Amino acid sequence: MLKLYFAPGVCSTASHIGLEESGAQYDSQAISFAKNEQRSPEYLKINPRGRVPALVVDEGTIVENTAILDYVAAKYAPQLMPKDPLQRARAISLMAWFSNTVHPNFTHIGRPERFATDASVHEHLKTTGRENFHTNLKEIDGLLAGKQWILGDQFSVVDGYALIFYGWGKRIGLPMTELKNYTAWKDRMLARPAVKRVLEREQSVLLAA
């Protein structure tokens, strides 16, 4: 049996959606950041980095969304990743960009102390992070132009990953409805039963009016 460790509303929502869309049987356990459960001795045995997501499989533990999503698709739902090698490379490239650039830009807004010990520069880091994150969202909006899903006609695990950033933009008050392609795609995502189940389970801001 698979077991996913996640925290509501953070990047682990991507793996949560991927698992739900795959149809695989899995258990899940929410980790409370407010209670610092990600730093508990019990959880550090599962993921010594103290981060989510973590997916426990028979052979051990897989961490990082990109790895988890690729594994879930390969093992349980091949339709969730492109079969063509070039398209699969593009899917992995997008997820790597989400992980390496888009997510850290958002982290600058809420956790500037991770990037500078000098508190006098924290406000500047927050402002820069907000600007960079908004630029990233505009790029995602452009990637979605003329497409049903982010890779084209085929829904994939990459779509679940892209959804979290729309929610984060909404959470910090960015003008998300101005991103027409992204917003229309978000509505298509919310119409998917598996996506809606995960968002309801996590009490996502995306479900708020």
**Per-domain residue ranges for the chain?**
2-79, 81-192
Distance CA(30)–CA(74), nearest Å, equals: 25
The pair of three-digit structure tokens given for residue 79, joined into one six-digit string:
């339709």
Instruction: Quote the CATH superfamily of domain 2-79.
Output: Glutaredoxin (3.40.30.10)
CB atoms within 10 A of CB 62: 20
pLDDT of residue 209: 63
Q: State whether the Cα torsion 56-198-32-129 is positive or negative.
A: positive
Architecture of the structural domain at 81-192: Up-down Bundle (1.20)
Give the pLDDT score at 173.
97
Q: Which DSSP symbol is given to 149?
A: B
144 has a pLDDT exceeding 80: yes
Res. 27: pLDDT tops 90: yes
Beta strands in the chain (DSSP E): 2-6, 26-30, 54-57, 60-63
Distance between CA atoms of residues 159 and 156, nearest Å: 6
Please tell me the chain's helix, strand, coil percentages from 3-state DSSP, rounded to the nearest 5.
Answer: 60, 10, 30
Per-residue pLDDT band at 126 (split at 50, 70, 90): very high
- Do 2-79 and 81-192 show the same overall fold? no
Please name the residue ranges forming H helices in 77-179.
85-97, 103-110, 122-143, 157-171
Residue 77 has pLDDT above 90, yes or no: yes
Query: Which pTM was predicted?
Result: 0.96
